[in-house]
Structure 1
């Protein structure tokens, strides 16, 4: 399998790998960043989470991408297609390091990943699982054209986390993309 590398104006998206551990561990240790992503992790937990997502490229044929700032090579975050066993749908999810928040990187990468999910993976429906009080992620979902479909349940061990399933169909995404 040839793993994809995608480019936007400011970002490179590539499969997660061991070189990402320092950035990933800093991301996972930040309380504000991880508030809606299952809670903080120490470095060893972050390594296991990184490995889980990297391994999904082998077991599922897709997973979240590492988002790299092209100008500096800095690890920005992880964004992309995600559907572990028992997940409530085909998701494009996101999370960026706090120091990169507010720069439009999450939107830029999410648009590329929505295109990838629809055009390459052939997904017909895309969700974003978002905690009801996560206003920033809800705003990004709205900006992508997704609508709140109401509460859904994540599989164990995340089943205690309240989330809503925002989403849209591939047809809705294509129409929005074509409208420009």
Structure 2
């Protein structure tokens, strides 16, 4: 099974690893679900989901980081993607998340975001993390609050997403480390 180059992280319940070809079924199902895809690019056919997944694998290859595929440690089930993301003209060094509906409400987003933010500060040397969140996306706002991020105000995404309204949530490395101490 081809896997993009990068580290594997583990939490109590999860395995976080770079994108692999075997992730397409879960990735495509998540992006085909209108509610799951609502805030992460919108509902897409499998062919578009594959291009998005390949883009994430490419980010690992070109930049040395990208969102991790999140797997249930016990079953191996693909649960979603969470991690660092910064395409060209992005408003900052983001740690974002998107989970399949079956994984909602179980604390996986918080668990994976904590492991990922520790990793980006320790290994990528980022000074801050942001999260681009639609003002109506209450579940993502709650995840951001749970990990200590706060709303910094409106932000702007690059084309073709420039018309999407987002708030920039985030925190600095120093704020993160003070809370984790």
TM-score range, shorter chain: over 0.9
Alignment of 1:107-126 (within 5 A): 107-126=110-129
Q: Counterparts of 2:163 and 2:23 in 1: how far apart (Å)?
A: 29
Deviations 1:4-50 (A, max 9, x none): 00000100000012110000000111111111112111000000000
Q: State the partner residue of 2:93.
A: 90
Q: State the partner residue of 2:61.
A: 58
Match of 2:148 among 134, 145, 148: 145
Q: State the partner residue of 1:164.
A: 167
Alignment of 1:5-24 (within 5 A): 5-24=8-27
Q: Counterparts of 1:86 and 1:162 in 2: how far apart (Å)?
A: 16
Q: Secondary structure at the match of 1:111?
A: helix
Structure 2 unaligned spans of 5+: none
Deviations 1:77-129 (A, max 9, x none): 00000000000000000000001100111110000011011111110011000
In structure 2, relative to structure 1, the CA distance for the partners of 1:122 and 1:133 (3 Å cut) is same
Q: What's the offset of the Cα at 1:159?
A: 1.0
Q: Secondary structure at the match of 2:124?
A: coil
Q: Counterparts of 1:54 and 1:156 in 2: how far apart (Å)?
A: 21
Q: State the partner residue of 1:31.
A: 34
Give the TM-score, by structure 2 length.
0.96
Moved over 6 A (4+): none
Q: Secondary structure at the match of 1:120?
A: helix
Q: State the partner residue of 1:43.
A: 46
Give the TM-score, by structure 1 length.
0.97
